[in-house]
């Protein structure tokens, strides 16, 4: 039972993922969330939805843009940031930056939502409010389950 409660809380608490909203046709700029220094033989990779790499940065400063992103993606070696030009709806998803090497580490994660140009940011606010309500509902449910669990334990002792 506690496993399910913990998993339910993780859904709401996972704060490492930064939500980003952008309209179709705009450029998307993603930066690492922690200062990064690439050591010898380190490789920084920006990936999309855990399926494919977008760009790679070697410790030498050499950048590599993956074929599907030629002409649309740029990787800044100094800041390790990713620029994706002229985004489309298919660019919606989770982008992650990870350093592979002697000390592997996760350095950025963004949940990108590409909106139709006609949608307003009021729609985004409404979406965020619904997410807050869902998380609040889960927290209330968790409190109720814990209360019932405590009541059952107390009654068993009597």
pLDDT at 77: 87
Q: Which pLDDT belongs to residue 35?
A: 78
> What tokens appear for 85 in the block?
């030009």
Question: Which pLDDT belongs to residue 110?
Answer: 97
Instruction: Tell me how far CA of residue 20 lies from CA of 61, 91, 113, 142, in angstroms.
Output: 27, 12, 6, 29
The reported pTM is 0.66
Q: CA 82 to CA 140: how far, in whole Å?
A: 39
Q: Burial level of 14, CB count in 10 A (0-12/13-18/19+)?
A: exposed
Mean pLDDT by 10 residues, the chain (158 residues): 41 67 96 87 93 92 93 92 96 96 93 83 59 53 61 66
Of residues 13, 33, 26, the one with CA closest to residue 108: 33
pLDDT at 147: 62
Query: 141 in helix, strand or coil?
Result: helix
pLDDT value, residue 78: 87
């Amino acid at each position: 039972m506690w496993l399910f409660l913990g998993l339910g809380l993780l859904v709401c608490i996972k704060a490492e993922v930064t939500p980003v909203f952008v309209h179709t046709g705009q450029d998307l700029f993603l930066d690492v969330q922690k200062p990064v220094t690439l050591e010898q033989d380190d490789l920084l990779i920006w990936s999309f939805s855990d399926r494919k790499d977008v760009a790679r940065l070697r410790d030498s400063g050499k950048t590599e843009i993956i074929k599907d992103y030629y002409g649309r993606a740029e990787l800044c070696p100094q800041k390790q940031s990713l620029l994706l030009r002229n985004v489309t709806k298919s660019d919606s998803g989770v982008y992650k930056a990870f350093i592979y090497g002697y000390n592997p580490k996760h350095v950025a994660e963004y949940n990108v939502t590409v909106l139709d140009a006609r949608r307003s940011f009021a729609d985004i606010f409404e979406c965020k409010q619904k997410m807050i309500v869902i998380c609040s509902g889960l927290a209330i449910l968790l409190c109720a389950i814990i209360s019932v669990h405590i009541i059952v334990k107390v009654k068993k002792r009597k």
